Amino acid sequence: MGQLALQRLPPLASLPRRPPSLPPPSSAPPSLPSATSRRPRFYVARAMSSHIVGYPRIGPKRELKFALESFWDGKTSVDDLQNVAANLRKSIWRHMADAGIKYIPSNTFSYYDQMLDTTAMLGAVPSRYGWEGGEIGFDVYFSMARGNASVPAMEMTKWFDTNYHYIVPELGPDVEFSYASHKAVVEFKEAKALGIDTFPVLIGPMTYLLLSKPAKGVEKSFCLLSLIDKILPVYKEVLADLKSAGARWIQFDEPILVMDLDTSQLQAFCDAYSHMESSLAGLNVLIATYFADVPAEAYKALMSLKCVTGFGFDLVRGLETLDLIKENFPPGKLLFAGVVDGRNIWANDLSASLKTLQTLEDIVGKEKVVVSTSCSLLHTAVDLVNEIKLDKELKSWLAFAAQKVVEVNALAKSFSGVKDEALFSSNSMRQASRRSSPRVTNVSVQQDVAAVKESDHRRSTEVSVRLQAQQKKLNLPALPTTTIGSFPQTTDLRRIRREFKAKKISEIDYVQTIKEEYEKVVKLQEELGIDVLVHGEAERNDMVEYFGEQLSGFAFTSNGWVQSYGSRCVKPPIIYGDVTRPKAMTVFWSSMAQKMTQRPMKGMLTGPVTILNWSFVRNDQPRHETCFQIALAIKDEVEDLEKAGVTVIQIDEAALREGLPLRNSEQKFYLDWAVHAFRITNCGVQDTTQIHTHMCYSNFNDIIHSIIDMDADVITIENSRSDEKLLSVFHEGVKYSAGIGPGVYDIHSPRIPSAEEIAERIKKMLAVLDSKVLWVNPDCGLKTRNYTEVKAALSNMVAAAKLIRSQLNKS
């Protein structure tokens, strides 16, 4: 691909002089005023103080996803990719300017991930990628994100408690930092050339370092904060660059401050910003926190900073921060009040938010309050105007990112004394409509959930006894091999599902096509020698959406896409009401697949906690109540699968760790109900029915005892992309007596590991795990890979398992 400068776009004059290929976002629903009714050629700051923390970059119809994948496949050029990106940024900035937003962010766009962008900015490239200095190019950038034929990708994990994944920096004492990506200043100038003055946004130095990990070969005890003095000079260079370009504001995102930091970490935070004080002179500085309350000690540290102009707080998930603000907020500082939810899709209760703003006015003064989003809008869908599947009533209850921008401005105008009475009246009517709608409440479901709380729903026998009974029935070899569930989703397969939904093909033709795909997947697994098979999930669009479409209380969008990582987007269901299962969801397909083979065929289900955490969840009742409703629905499905003769049932809980609250004091309550919800799903099956679960792309070591308490018979869990971090918990003496399959290769990279490499991984696992409980499997599902990659990787995986199996037999 060549050493092309990361996002170093050609001069605007050289870009095609044509209107953007993307329509500007709209501001549906109709009760909100249009943000696109005018197109000024130059945008001036509004009197009302309004601010957006960040905005989705994928585009209203996933334009960035398709541009990236086309570029990676070699079908389009760098210029094509950069033009799509430039048009997306232009559309986003103009939407905010048209809506009246005063403080508009820049540098929130990314080709893959904002933490990876910061790694590029700091020149912190691991040596295996062969970077020799200079501006980071796309080849190095995407190799870090995705790996390449010769080296693996960097680790990927969840961004706090969201479903967004970031690329984890790998740092050590010998890392040499340098200013290696000028992306922030390039985008600021790009917006300025459009007549839009923006807020450049940087991941703050504390958040960057504390979300990093020691590089391979570096002691795990290495203090990442010891690098603070090495990265601050690069931040100072960036600040000087931005000031020279005309920036007047800078936003540092420091969400790490909502975590439980110790005294030394908070002191390092204060010292870092004190050391940057001279470089920040001449700039207004915002430090933005989000996702939870700021603890009292962190709040005190924040308030001590003299170089900061404003502080941003999440007042949706962090209501207790209000008490701290009431007790102490420094005079003369700006308070960026995050009252519009950046993580859910429900329309803001404008009257309630206005009351919160008026409370803040009494504390800090009207002129010091800036209306903002609770966090970046990256975590919500892009634009409600693109939705054609939602009915009118449900649509009136919602607001996507484009609409939330308008809500922020409406609140800012009202707060400044220009209240749109018609708008507020309409909003109140829609809030009341949702509260009183009969489609929201099912009394019998609520009674069932109340009864659930009377038992802990544990299976009647110990896992060691169950495993013996299952082995007699399944007769599996040592180190049994399996995959996680999905097989490649080809273009033809997606087309068939679309045509069936659109009623362009008959149900008979559809079932026959899916059956043929099953036969292909089953035959491939048998030829490769896989021990426990899957049907490949050809009938499924998404592991959550597929189930939600068959449960009551769920609604679905046509374009409600949200970025999960890179080009990977998900379309979360909307849980608006009480949940029930009208009929069996997977029994027909699983029974069909089991008849194609004599080997065990897993019934594949998504667990209640994952369905909850990967959906937009109703905010009118506690989350655990909704989770228990889903658990009861999945329980019915599990028992129907067992009756149909399915003897291995996998209930994926990929997102269990993701929902863990950020504060230690809140974690036990979450883990108790989340684990309970999982146990509800399978508490009624026989000992001979083997229950699997799967988890991926999070740090599971700190919740290992809760994972054990789930009482699954077998757990498959991501391990290889995170450099086998999972195994360290077993080195520390944790005993795990159930079956366990730490992943032996990373499925998110096109790289194919050799049989020898996989065998070495298995040996490392056997150093801490008994061969009687160890399974061999990939990190995750194979949906995103192609069949050429899958065949080669699985062939090597089976060969490695057989090799180690033979060595065990000899010993």
Q: Could you give the residue numbers annotated as active site?
A: 748
Query: Does the bond joining 29 to the residue before it have cis omega, within 30 degrees of 0?
Result: yes
Whether the CA torsion 140, 145, 148, 150 is positive or negative: it is: positive
Distance separating the N- and C-terminal Cα atoms of the chain: 49
| Contacts made by residues 493-498, CB under 8 angstroms, sequence distance 24+ | 493/517, 493/538, 497/539, 497/541
SS3 713: coil
CA distance 526 to 547: 28
**DSSP codes joined into one string, 390-438:** S-HHHHHTB--HHHHHHHHHHHHHHHTT---HHHHHHHHHHHHHHHH-T
**DSSP codes joined into one string, 749-805:** SS----HHHHHHHHHHHHTTS-TTTB-B--SS--TTS-HHHHHHHHHHHHHHHHHHH
CA distance 485 to 48: 51
Residue 725: name the closest of 770, 779, 672 by CA: 779
DSSP classification of residue 725: G
Pairing of strands 249-253, 616-617: unpaired
Q: Which two structure tokens, joined as six digits, stand for 589?
A: 């397909």
Q: Where in 293-382 does DSSP place strands (E)?
A: 310-314, 334-340, 369-373
Question: What's phi and psi for 717, nearest 5 deg?
Answer: -145, 140
Per the rule left: phi > 0, alpha: psi between -120 and 50, beta: everything else, 414 is: alpha
Q: What residues are paired with 715 via a beta bridge?
A: 693, 740
Question: What's phi and psi for 169, nearest 5 deg?
Answer: -60, 145
Sequence-ordered list of residues with C-beta below 8 angstroms from that of 287, at least 6 positions apart, any chain: 204, 251, 252, 254, 273, 302, 305, 308, 310, 311, 312
CA distance 605 to 648: 11
CA distance 478 to 148: 33
SS3 58: coil
Contact 192, 149 (CB under 8 A): no
CA distance 89 to 200: 13
